[in-house]
Amino acid sequence: MSCSKDRFLNRQVVYFKLADEKKFNWQTKNKYFSKTEKELLKSVPNYKKGRFLEVGCGEGGNLYLLNYNDSLIFGLDNCFEKLRFAETKLLNVNFICADALNMPWKSASFDVILCRDVLHHILDKEKIIKEIKRICKTDGKILFVEANGANPIMKSFALFEKAERGMIKNTPMRLKSLLSKHFDNIYIKMYQPFPIFRVVLHYKYGLSYLGKLRLVKFLFDPLNSIFKWLIPYYRWAYSVILVKC
């Protein structure tokens, strides 16, 4: 068990060691893909005034798309290189380099918290959930966005990329079971039934430059509509879970 744990942790360290500018540009500048990313984030509570935090913000792609200019915004990550890059792209965000399992804020510090694609990279999921709940105000909201390991596209990616293996067991029902231990009000919505566009337009393994062509929209949008009927809802690619403290 110890060797397995060490191997898991080492993979995460290597995987998230450096800033990934190509990933940031893919998420924020690729015309078609950035549109799908905005749709994925549209469930983030529309809180224009208050304190907003993203846990595991990386290069800041999500914060860039959200564009919360009227809030006091914070981004936390444990990779200094990613945060240094993020600071060049988001001048209105307060970035903190720290461990998400032990965050440097007092209890009830934030109105809204976003945690995207973080849980499946953490061994002690109970601890990080407790920590996120601790720093959220009693009337605050938390949005967890997680890839669904039951989706064929996401599962294939997890099998291909070893650092993403935690995604395989990351199903909506397991997430709901995990979060229900800590929250009473849980709302789950699924997105992207079969996102083949994530493969075709991938910034490393695909043809990302196609995202700027209008033809791509006319190809993928009808496919997405068809996949909504073919793929069971619980197997869609992303679980977006809103909880109220």
The pLDDT of 134-161, averaged and rounded, is 96
Each residue of 95-119: pLDDT tens digit?
Answer: 999 999 999 999 999 999 999 999 9
Confidence of residue 70 (pLDDT cuts 50, 70, 90): low
C-alpha–C-alpha distance, residues 40 and 31, integer Å: 15
Q: What are residue 51's DSSP bridge partners?
A: 72
Under CATH, what is the fold of the domain 18-244? Answer: Rossmann fold (3.40.50)
Which residue in 129, 218, 106 sits closest to 181, CA to CA? 129
pLDDT of residue 45: 83
Each residue of 6-45: pLDDT tens digit?
Answer: 899 899 999 999 999 999 999 999 999 999 999 999 998 8
pLDDT of residue 2: 73
Instruction: Report angle CA 2, 8, 150 to the nearest 5 degrees.
Output: 120
Q: What is the pTM of this model?
A: 0.95
Q: Residue 124 in contact with residue 150, Cβ under 8 Å?
A: no
Which residue in 134, 174, 177 sits closest to 150, CA to CA? 174
Each residue of 230-239: pLDDT tens digit?
Answer: 999 999 999 9
Q: Residue 236 in contact with residue 188, Cβ under 8 Å?
A: no
